[in-house]
Structures are given as structure tokens and as C-alpha cells.
Structure 1
């Protein structure tokens, strides 16, 4: 059984990892102290920094939130850029601005997807302070949105958002005994929490904090052919027979459940690790449905009957009012929507 499954099934065998979790707790606390005490300074750049992260490992829906924020800020006439670590990419020169010619193997699947969807500067750099400085000073971004990086304290941030899904925090233990990068206390220090899914199913220890909690859903209108770009509406596509689904994301079951709720009858599902590097042998010779994040990695070798389902984050108006308040506090001059 994979360790991730043990975290979310409350498997008692994780207690064998308790000593390592104690060590992780001590090292994390010491690192936070270094920044709080000023021994290690945090870099503040000449732009408003919004971190979209989480306190647990695995995908929770951060990328759609990043894209939604970018699109919202663009409508406000604000110059915005995105900063990512570039996980899964093999680029060695940093900071690196994602270009159309870059493949996901170079820059990572999420940066490639964000750049393609938003058409704003996307910079990857494992040293986020350096990457943020490049976005602010060289690319003149007023707002920088960090895709992940909540625990990267070397970069000062103006807004911290945590994205979680219905899995919650699993067994509630720190790595490697559980999925947490930081304890639940961290939720008392962030500015907002976004729940990807049904807020009501989560324990109050997750949702009962001083900061606002916002529900989010992911929705799309069409399925898109990976090779041709042809689009088919959900209702029509749902009539397909012998359809299979695959996903190399943090929570594949969430994607499969969404497809089923839309009326698709899936004959099989294929689960892969988050950021999985696909090969042609991974693609079944049937009608295949995948996530947009996976689609950007397979365009060169998929067959003609492969489709992806692009989704947008549906966030409530109070969330964007909250963002406006935080941006104003950071000195950003907000304008009326430009589109």
C-alpha cells in the first residue's frame, strides 16, 4: 500500500514513522525561527506577492485558483506574473521565463499550462526570491502570484491563501507520518482558506479559523481533443461508449468522480502519481479522457481519440472582494474591469 493511502485511511502503521516526523517537526520549527528572528532575512520585492499554497502534500486545486486570480487581475488592468518552482522540469538556468517553445519536460507541467492559458509572464525558479525579483524588476509586474511556496519563507508575501480539498488533512500528522508540511496551527496565520469541494464534509478544526473560508468548484463546458483542438459539449460527449479516464494529479479520484457526475460512463480508470511523465504505452487505445494538466505532456504521441476536460475555478464574489481589500492594503491601485 502506498504511503499516501495510509495517510488518508488512518492506517496505524504510520506510527512506525513517528521518529522521522519528530525530526521533521524540529527542523521545520528551527527554519521558521531563523526567518522570524531575522537571522535569515526574507526578501521583499517591489510587487504585491500572493502565495497560493497548502499545508499538505499533493494537489488540491491550486493551479485553477492561480489561473482564476490571473484572469481577474488582468480584467482590472493590473500587470501580473506567476512564479513557480517548476517541479518536474529539467531547466538548469534560472530565473527562466516560460516560452511557447518550452515543453513540460523543460519547465514543468503546471507552469506550461498556466502560461498557455493566461498569456502572462510565468517564471520558474527554485529560489523564489530571485524569481520574484526578476518578475518585479525586469518584467515590471505589479502583482506576483506564487503557485505553491507557502513554506518558502525566504520570500516576503502580502497575501497567503491555502487551498484544500475534501480529503482534509488525512490523519493530521506531519511528514512522513502524515501528509502535513506544517501543523494545523498554520491555518490561523494565513489570510484565507479555499476549499475545493464541499465545505460541510470537513472537520471544524479545518474550517473554524479567524480567516475567511471560501468554497470553490471546478467546472467546464467542453471536452477538447488533445491533437486537433476540436471541442465537444459535455452533454454530447457524455454519450460516448467505452470511455476510459486517466489522471496523473494529486487526487485522481476527484477527477474521476467529477466525470461520472457529469454523466460519463467510464469503463476503466488509470491512476498515476502527480506530475507523472507519460509515455505512449500509458495511453489506452480507446476513447481517453484526461485532465488539462496531463494533456500538455502527451500532445506529441497521443492517438486521435484522446480528450481533456479544461476547468475553471468557480469562486464566490466575496472572495474577489476580499482580494480587492488585500490588494488595496498592499498599495495596488485597483481600476474597474477593463474587459
Structure 2
């Protein structure tokens, strides 16, 4: 669909009637919550939603991880909820640990648990995950990885992440374009941030130099990706936007042989066994699922985001108001 959504493909116009149907259904659903005909659940701790209005990876998960660490620095004890997309658990909600099976709870959930050092809970109904988290863990603020359109989950702050490179594509709603909601939705958000430069006045987040670790020994000292400059590698990405990973490797001087897989793919051993001795570099999200098959040639690339100081200042100011509101209540 990327060729339709992010190009000038005439097929997009043939799909516009379906986009109108999508808009009518989503608008009606939103209206039910506005009129309180469907219940929006409120919680004993504030909820911050980090989401987007487009389909595909925009960098929400790295920002959630950064926010969790920043909230700890501010004196909070955060917890994280997510959908658990791709997880095949027999019941929900599910508490997630760093050693949880990604097939059961989803790959992004395990990644969040490993990198955030926070309690993580997942459920298709996010309100259930929030309740479970608050009932069974020690946390006084909740971050939701995605969930902007899950209006059953009450929220105290919305942060929308925008793909700075691809923007809103052709500007059409699903399925003719990549939009889940129209750009006017951004006016209701508390904060905007773009993954890479987007528009003047919108703060961005940038990638710190990525680190490389062997899948067979994740306790080993990470090495800067730039040390592999000039090497030819297999590059594996099963994400919402695999090209972003491939471009990043090339930016650091690696000669990447790209292997794009669908988002949330459950890997088989043979998927990443190539007929040569070249190193295989993959996103950390893919590494979570492939670790059990790893050999000495398989490496993960750890990516961390750093928001602009302007975003951090705005967020901190909003947190002061949020805290004051709780105290008043």
C-alpha cells in the first residue's frame, strides 16, 4: 500500500468512496463517546497517550521509552500499557516481563518491558490494561503506547508523533491513504513531535548514534554503529516503515542488503539464515522474536531517540499542571 499512500498512484482515487465510509464510521464512533452514549473510563492515576494519526511506524515506542525514563527523573513511578498486537494469549490483560514470550504478548510489549524498566501490561481493550496495571503494580502514572483512537480509555494528555519524512502521505483516510483521522485532529492534542524534521514550529526527535549488540550476548558492551562503516551486511526490518532502518544503516556508512518483512512478523529460523557469512543486523523489535534462533552472525541495532529541548520544556510544564490538577482533585 505504500506506493498508493505515499506516491501519486491513481488507484488512491478509486478507493476514496471506501475512505468516506471509514470517515463516517469513525466519526460516528467518536460521537458516541462525546455524547457519553459509550463510556470513557477514568482512572486513579493520570494517563498519557502517545499515538499518531497515520498507519505504520512513526517512532512512538522509542518516545514512550524516553518518556518513561524522563518521568522517573521527575520523581514519578510510571507504568506502560499497549495493545499487545500480534500476541496470541488465551486471556487478557497480560502482565509483561523482559523474558515474556513475544508470541504470547506481542513483540513491542516485550521490547518495552526490556528497555523501560517499568511494569508493562497489554490488552486489546486498553482500559482493562490500565486497571490491571494500577491494581497489581506500583505506579502513579500510565503511558499508553499508541491508543490515540481508543476513546474508551480516558486520558489526561495526548502526544501525537508525526513521521517527519513521509508526513501524511497523499492526505487521504484509510484505505485510500494512510490517515486514521484527519489532520484537524492534531488541534485536540496537547503536544506534537515529529520523527525527523517536519514543519517549522513542531519540535522533533532525533536518533542518537545507534549501538550494536550480538544477539547471543546482550550483556556485552554495546559498540557504536559507525565502527561498522564500509561493511556489507544483511539488514532486516519487520516494522511499519522498514526503509527508515535501511536508510539509517546507509547513513552510517554501511552497505545494507535490505530484507523487509511485514510488521510484527513471527520469524522462523530459516528466515534469517542467508547463504553467505555476512553479518545480519536487525531492529531490536525483530531481535526480540529471533533471539532463540540466533547465531554469532546475528546482531541487533539499538536505537534511542532524543527529543528537542523545546519539547522537553513543554512536556515538563504540562506535567506541572497535571500534578497540580491531581492535588486539587
The question of a shared fold, defined as TM-score above 0.5 by the shorter chain, is answered with yes
* Conserved? CA contact 2:167–2:198, under 8 Å: no
Three-state SS of the structure 2 residue aligned to 1:6 is helix
Three-state SS of the structure 2 residue aligned to 1:55 is coil
How far off is 1:121 after superposition? 0.5
Aligned residue pairs: how many? 320
Q: 1:233 aligns with which of 224, 227, 230?
A: 224
Three-state SS of the structure 2 residue aligned to 1:290 is strand
Q: 1:245 aligns with which of 235, 242, 245?
A: 235
Q: Which runs of 4+ in 1 moved over 6 A?
A: none
Alpha-carbon separation, structure 2, partners of 1:326 and 1:133: 24
- Which residue in the other structure is 1:104 paired with? 102
Alpha-carbon separation, structure 1, partners of 2:226 and 2:159: 34
Q: Does 1:311 align with 2:303?
A: yes
* Conserved? CA contact 1:220–1:311, under 8 Å: yes
Q: 1:264 aligns with which of 247, 254, 273?
A: 254
Alpha-carbon separation, structure 2, partners of 1:318 and 1:271: 34
Alpha-carbon separation, structure 1, partners of 2:98 and 2:304: 22
Q: 1:283 aligns with which of 246, 254, 272?
A: 272
Q: 2:263 aligns with which of 270, 274, 292?
A: 274
Change beyond 3 A, Cα 1:10–1:332: farther
Q: Does 1:197 align with 2:196?
A: yes
- Which residue in the other structure is 1:328 paired with? 320
- Which residue in the other structure is 1:138 paired with? 136
Q: 2:202 aligns with which of 205, 213, 216?
A: 213
Alpha-carbon separation, structure 2, partners of 1:332 and 1:315: 24
How far off is 1:221 after superposition? 4.6
Equivalent residue runs for 1:58-69 within 5 Å: 58-69=56-67
* Conserved? CA contact 1:43–1:156, under 8 Å: yes
Three-state SS of the structure 1 residue aligned to 2:323 is coil
Runs of 5+ consecutive residues of structure 1 not aligned to the other structure: 201-206, 335-339
Alpha-carbon separation, structure 1, partners of 2:303 and 2:324: 29
TM (norm. structure 1) is 0.90
Alpha-carbon separation, structure 2, partners of 1:333 and 1:304: 52
Change beyond 3 A, Cα 1:328–1:143: same
- Which residue in the other structure is 2:162 paired with? 164
- Which residue in the other structure is 2:87 paired with? 89
TM (norm. structure 2) is 0.92
Three-state SS of the structure 2 residue aligned to 1:326 is helix
* Conserved? CA contact 1:54–1:148, under 8 Å: yes
Tell me which moved more, 316-325 or 299-308. Answer: 316-325
Tell me which moved more, 226-235 or 5-14. Answer: 226-235
* Conserved? CA contact 1:48–1:327, under 8 Å: no
How far off is 1:239 after superposition? 4.4
Three-state SS of the structure 2 residue aligned to 1:331 is helix
Alpha-carbon separation, structure 1, partners of 2:159 and 2:207: 17
Query: Alpha carbon RMSD of aligned pairs, Å?
Result: 1.8
Q: 1:117 aligns with which of 112, 115, 123?
A: 115
CA-to-aligned-CA distance 1:18-68 (integer Å, 9 cap, x gap)? 221111111101001000011112111011111000001111110000000
CA-to-aligned-CA distance 1:43-95 (integer Å, 9 cap, x gap)? 11011111000001111110000000001111222110000000011113222
- Which residue in the other structure is 1:204 paired with? none
* Conserved? CA contact 1:223–1:237, under 8 Å: no
Three-state SS of the structure 2 residue aligned to 1:34 is helix
Q: Does 1:301 align with 2:293?
A: yes
Alpha-carbon separation, structure 2, partners of 1:221 and 1:171: 31
